[in-house]
Amino acid sequence: MSTTTREQPPKSALRTRGFGQYADRLFTGFLILAGASVLAILSAMVIRTVYDAYPVFVYQGFFDFIFGTEWQAGFARNEFTGTYGAWPFIWGTLVTASIAVVIALPLAICVSLFITFYAPKRARTLLSYSVEILAAVPSIIFGLWGLLWFVPNVLHPFSNWLNSTLGFIPLFGGSVPNTNYFHAGVVLAIMILPIITAITREVMAATPPDEVSAAYGLGATKSEVLSRVVLPRSFGGIVGATMLGLGRALGETIAVLMLIGGSQRAGYRLFFAGDSLAAHIAATFQDASPETLTALMGVGVVLFLLTMVVNVVARLIVWRFARSASAGDAL
């Protein structure tokens, strides 16, 4: 009859194991706290902003506040005497952001394709670094550059040409001031171009090499490979990049403030001098009366809702595309 004895781990190992379990619990708790802090900060911002804006929604009416076209600030402290309609600022935000995306998206796709599939290795590195540098330029620099050089030397002559050539179309009619929707939208396009380009380039570079090789093996040309393999595979990432750029365009403040015109009216012409949500808050916040501050908080709530809707729509589009792509792969 044989007996076996189980070896006991050394005491140092036991101590190490006990400390490791304690450290693991501590690290897990820290991560949970970090994740919860993000939700707490977001909740605090939303709750406080809505709470401060609630009186103007009660006074004006929520839908009247959103779709009202007149903004006349009052100067009372404990009551409302003005008229607050945010539609001119909502419209200006949507117009300038749309112009920016329409211009920046095709340029970003073309630049990404060139960097990823056409540019020599040295040029690829230089271009990639240039895109990253452009994304880091402060918005005030874009605003100054646009206002002092780009608009007077490039955009304003081009806008005058469009106005004289296509002025019979209401969209391009009217006068052409130095600051307007179109000029702000074009500078916004330059600002969001590196954001969309950087993400789109990474997504395109992640295309499975086997699919690219298979397409070439079937006799496809390079342009056919890009249009039928790379772009469809990258669609979800391109949508995500576009929505990220759109979010930047919706919330951009300083550059738009310098280039949009500052009018508190909504115009339905491309060259109308209007205003945006973020720019209006920045322009009037410092000298606003207590009741106007409450109305500006309402503008902030509208801006938050607008960006939230954009992000939800982007998530749905990416999710639907990912689901379709996974179903196609399964087949």
Query: Within its chain, how far is the Cα of 168 from the centroid?
Result: 34
Beta-bridged to residue 72, according to DSSP, are 83
* Three-class secondary structure of residue 261 per DSSP: strand
Identify the pLDDT of residue 14.
47
- Residue 274 backbone phi and psi in degrees, to 5: -120, -145
- Exposed/middle/buried for residue 220 (C-beta within 10 Å: 0-12, 13-18, 19+): middle
SS3 215: helix
Specify if 231 maps to a domain.
yes
**Which pLDDT score, from 0 to 100, does residue 173 have?**
87
Please give the pLDDT value at position 151.
94
Lookup: tokens for 244: 């990220």
How far apart CA 179 and CA 176 sit, in angstroms, is: 8
Residue 215 and residue 232 in contact, taking contact as beta carbons nearer than 8 Å: no
User: Taking the CB of residue 162, how many other CB atoms lie within 10 A of it?
Assistant: 17
- Is 76 inside any structural domain? no
- Answer yes or no: is 258 within a domain: yes
Dihedral sign of CA atoms 259, 262, 266, 272 in order:
negative
Helices 290-330, 87-113: axis angle to 10 degrees equals 40
* Total of domains in the chain: 1
- Rounded distance between C-alpha atoms, residue 313 and residue 130, angstroms: 31
Query: For residue 45, is it within any domain?
Result: no
Whether residue 22 is contained in a domain is answered as: no
Range of the domain at 239: 83-330
Query: How far apart are alpha carbons 162 and 261 in whole angstroms?
Result: 19
pLDDT tens-digit profile, the chain (331 residues): 455 555 555 555 545 566 667 778 888 888 999 989 999 998 999 999 999 999 999 999 999 999 999 998 888 777 888 889 999 999 999 999 999 999 999 999 999 999 988 888 888 888 888 888 888 899 999 999 999 999 999 999 999 999 999 989 998 988 899 999 999 999 999 999 999 999 999 889 888 888 888 888 888 888 888 888 888 888 888 988 898 899 889 989 899 999 998 888 888 999 999 999 999 999 998 888 888 999 999 999 999 999 888 888 877 877 777 676 665 555 5
pLDDT at residue number 4: 54
Q: How many residues does the chain have?
A: 331
Query: Is residue 18, in this structure, part of any structural domain at all?
Result: no
Alpha carbon of 327 to those of 119, 237, 316, 320, 322: distances in Å? 34, 17, 16, 11, 9
- CATH code at position 225: 1.10.3720.10
From CA 284, how far away is CA 298, in angstroms rounded?
13
**CA 246 – CA 99 distance, rounded (Å):** 10
Alpha-carbon distance 96 to 189, whole Å? 9
DSSP per-residue string spanning 107-129? HHHHHHHIIIIIS-HHHHHHHHH
Establish if 220 belongs to a structural domain. yes
Closest CA relative to residue 192, chosen from 71, 96, 321: 96
